[in-house]
Structure 1
Amino acid sequence: MFSLQTIFGSGKQFFDLLDEAADAAHASTKALVALLKDPTAVPSLDAFKLARQRERIASDKINHALVDSFITPIEREDIESLGSALYKIPKQVERFADRYDLARHHLADIDFAPRGVMLEQAAGVVVEMVRELRSMRLEKMSKLNERLRVLEAEADRLLLEMHRELYSGKLDAADMFLLKEFFEILEKAIDRCREAGVVAYQIVLKNS
């Protein structure tokens, strides 16, 4: 006798699609670290555009699957929320990269690389958290959530140091305005990782 799960599928493809979205977000942060570690190199934004394209494809697949599937492994609203949170990460990273490419001649004395590394590490933890949804292990997810919280706190500390430099009086008004924009974009990218992690953690809390 066939079960409904056999007829309609188990919905496990959603985990694969969320993995794709998380991997694309992580790829965008890796590209940013490469860009920031070698500011003298001729930049290429192809990696950022590819990551955004991968993210859009994964997001479209998730939306179509939600329409077509009778069964989902977790609540539909949770899938939508996590997919949306993941989508915002490479979008914010590409925004930073586009502006950095245009204004890099004004940023020669600013080392964004340590903050970029923090962002890449945070995105890496998000990848682990999304993959952990298959097993719904609360203890493991709690540890990953704490790792992400610590990274966010450290990133906030580093960004605060940059703000001290910003308001040190050494910069003119134009440079202050420019750097403030970059600080806020980078800070928001890290916040996007944290938001995605919180959604993943809450899913496990609800289903464990």
Structure 2
Amino acid sequence: MFSLQTIFGSGKQFYVLLDDAAQAAHDSAKALHTMMREGESLPALDAFKLARLRGRASSEKIGQALVDSFITPIEREDIEALGSALYKIPKQIEKFADRYSLAVKHLDQIDFAPRAAMLEQAAAVVVEMVADLRHMNLDRMTALNEKLRALENEADRLMLELYRDIYSGRLDHLQMFLLKEFFEILEKAIDRCRGAGVVAYQIVLKNS
């Protein structure tokens, strides 16, 4: 005799879809760090578009699976909230890449690589947090949450250094404007990672 789980499924596909969304976010952050580190004069944007499309596809599949599935491993609202938070990461990173490609000739004196590296680290922590949802290990998730918080705090510290550069007098007015705009976009991308991490952490708190 078939059990209800056999008939309706266990809902484990949601973990796979959330993993895919988190990985798309990390791939986008990794592509940005590579682009900043290599200093391409004409940066290619295909990787960012592909990561965003993968993230959107995962988000749409999650939404459809929530409609089709009778069983979910965690609450439906939490799955939806995490899927939405994850999709915002590659979307924000693509925004930076698109604008950077238009303004790159004005930014040759500015090194975004350290901040991009921090974003990649934050996205990697999010991948770990999403993967760990299967285990609902509060100690492990708390440690990852603290790691993500530390990266966010370091990003805030670097933003203060940014203002020193802005007022240093070595930049022209256009560069000052662009520097502020691009670092704020990067800061928001890290905030997106933090937001996704908070959702994952709260899920474990609720279910542990």
TM-score for the superposition, normalised by structure 1? 0.97
1:89-128 alignment, distance < 5 Å = 89-128=89-128
Conserved? CA contact 1:115–1:159, under 8 Å: no
CA offsets, 1:83-106, max 9 Å, x none?
000000000000000111110111
* Partner in structure 1 of residue 186 of structure 2: 186
Deviation track 1:117-174 (CA, whole Å, cap 9, x = no partner) reads 0000000000000000000000000111011111111111122211221123333333
Q: Is the 8 A contact 1:89 1:193 kept in 2?
A: yes
Residue 74, structure 1, aligned to residue 48, structure 2: no
Alignment check: 8 A CA contact 2:41 2:104 kept: no
Q: Distance in 1 between matches of 2:42 and 2:100?
A: 12
5+ unaligned residues in a row in structure 1: which ranges?
none
Amino acid at match of 2:184: E
Cα pair distance change 1:53/1:71, threshold 3 Å: same
- Give, as a single letter, the amino acid of the residue that structure 2 aligns with 1:75: E
Are 1:29 and 2:29 counterparts? yes
Cα distance in 2, alignment partners of residues 168 and 3 from structure 1: 69
- Partner of 1:87 in structure 2? 87
Aligned to 2:139: 139
Separation in 1, partners of 2:164, 2:171 = 11
Question: Which amino acid counterpart does residue 191 of structure 2 have in structure 1?
Answer: D
Structure 2 letter corresponding to 1:198 = V
Paired residue secondary structure (2:6): helix
1:180, distance to aligned residue in structure 2 (A): 1.3
180-189 vs 162-171, greater mean Cα deviation:
162-171
Q: Which residue of 2 aligns with 1:176?
A: 176
The one-letter amino acid paired with 2:182 is F
Sequence identity percentage: 73
More deviation, 164-173/105-114:
164-173
**Preserved CA contact (<8 Å) 1:18 1:83:** yes
- 2:66 and 2:167 mapped to 1: Cα distance? 48
Q: Give the aligned partner of residue 202 of structure 1.
A: 202
Question: Aligned-pair RMSD on alpha carbons?
Answer: 1.1
Residue aligning to 1:54: 54
TM-superposed CA distance for 1:75, in Å, is 0.4
Offset at 1:175? 2.2
- With 160-169 and 23-32 compared, the bigger mean Cα shift is at 160-169
Greater mean alpha carbon deviation, residues 169-178 or residues 15-24: 169-178
* 1:130-169 aligned within 5 A: 130-169=130-169
Instruction: Determine if contact 2:42/2:101 at 8 Å carries over to the other structure.
Output: no
